[in-house]
Amino acid sequence: MARKQPSTATSGPAAPQGSFYQRNRREVIFLVLFLVLLAVGFTLISLNWVNDHVIEPFTAGIADLSGATLNLLGQDVTMRGTEIHSAKFGVNIKNGCNGVEAMLIFLAAVLAFPARWKSKLAGLGIGFLAIQLVNLVRVVALFLTGSYFPKVFDASHTVVWQTIVILFAVLLWIFWANRYANPPAPTSQEG
């Protein structure tokens, strides 16, 4: 009696062939490019000249806009550079509270992702505005928290709002990537 050999035919798709890089080329390129762009961005903002001539004036603009918003809300604040003061409370907006890090994460992700330049530029413009709008809400909310609920200011500042701004940037990128990025190119299958 002859023994039957098991069937080698499979009913599912063929197993992927090739190296890890070949199977995951787009993802690997995205990840490496994202990390390089992130490193370049964080290195740039750590330079004293960039901080003094770009980041500090940008942060002062955030303080001015936040102070103007607080004055519209009846808070009677004064602004000086990156500082906002009232009779009840005062803050100095520092690096890490100006939304620049969240913007760098978003910028690196958009630039690294395979998409048309038109989509990338639109994403960067809308992302910049959206992240800074959330950051404006953050600064105003933190100032009001410090003025009226000082016991929860530190937790609100370091835990709640930092998480919200970074998470918003990540979710905004996911939204952009799903809506506006190039679809993966179809792979040709030879048989």
Residue range 98-157, pLDDT digits in tens: 999 999 999 999 999 999 999 999 999 999 999 999 999 999 999 999 999 999 999 999
* Percentages of the chain per state (helix, strand, coil), in multiples of 5: 65, 5, 30
The ranges assigned to domains in the chain are: 24-179
Residue 6 confidence (pLDDT) above 70: no
Q: How many residues does the chain have?
A: 191
Mean pLDDT taken over the chain:
88
Give the list of residues 6+ apart from residue 163 with CB closer than 8 angstroms, or none: none
User: Tokens 């490193």 label which residue?
Assistant: 39
Give the list of residues 6+ apart from residue 107 with CB closer than 8 angstroms, or none: 37, 41, 124, 127
pTM of the model: 0.80
Spatial distance between the Cα atoms of 42 and 108, rounded to a whole number of angstroms? 10
Residue 184 confidence (pLDDT) above 70: no
Q: How confident is the model over 85-97, as a mean pLDDT?
A: 91
- pLDDT in the model for residue 191: 45
Residue range 21-52, pLDDT digits in tens: 778 888 889 999 999 999 999 999 999 999 99
Please list the residues that pair with 55 across neighbouring strands.
Answer: none
- pLDDT in the model for residue 180: 77
